[in-house]
Copies of this chain bind each other. A is one copy, B any other.
Amino acid sequence: MTKTLTARERLLAAARALFWTRGYSNVSVRDIAADAGVDAALVSRYFGGKQALFEATLDEIPVWDALTAEGPAVLEKAVESFSHPFDPETEAANPFSLLLANIIDPEMGDRIRAEVAAQIAGPLAARLGNAPGHKAQDRAAMLLAVLFGMALMRKNFQLEALGEKSTEELAAMIRALGRAALDYKP
With both chains docked as a complex, state the minimum distance between the C-beta of A173 and any C-beta of chain B, in angstroms: 6
Residue A146 CB within 8 A of the other chain = yes
Q: A177-B180, A180-B179 are in contact. Are A172 and B186 (CB under 8 A)?
A: yes
Contacting pair A106 B22 (CB below 8 A): yes
Contact of A156 among B104, B138, B153, B184 (CB under 8 A): B104
Residues of B within 8 A of A169 (CB): 186
A residues bordering B, Cβ < 8 Å? 22-23, 25-26, 100-101, 103-106, 109, 113, 116-117, 121, 125, 135, 137-138, 140-142, 144-150, 152-153, 156-162, 169, 172-173, 176-177, 179-181, 184, 186
Contacting pair B180 A121 (CB below 8 A): no
Residues of B within 8 A of A150 (CB): 142, 145, 149
Copies of this chain assembled into the complex: 2
Contacting pair A173 B138 (CB below 8 A): yes
With both chains docked as a complex, state the minimum distance between the C-beta of A79 and any C-beta of chain B, in angstroms: 13
With both chains docked as a complex, state the minimum distance between the C-beta of A137 and any C-beta of chain B, in angstroms: 4
Most B-side CB within 10 Å, residue of A138, A157, A176: A157
Contacting pair B141 A145 (CB below 8 A): no
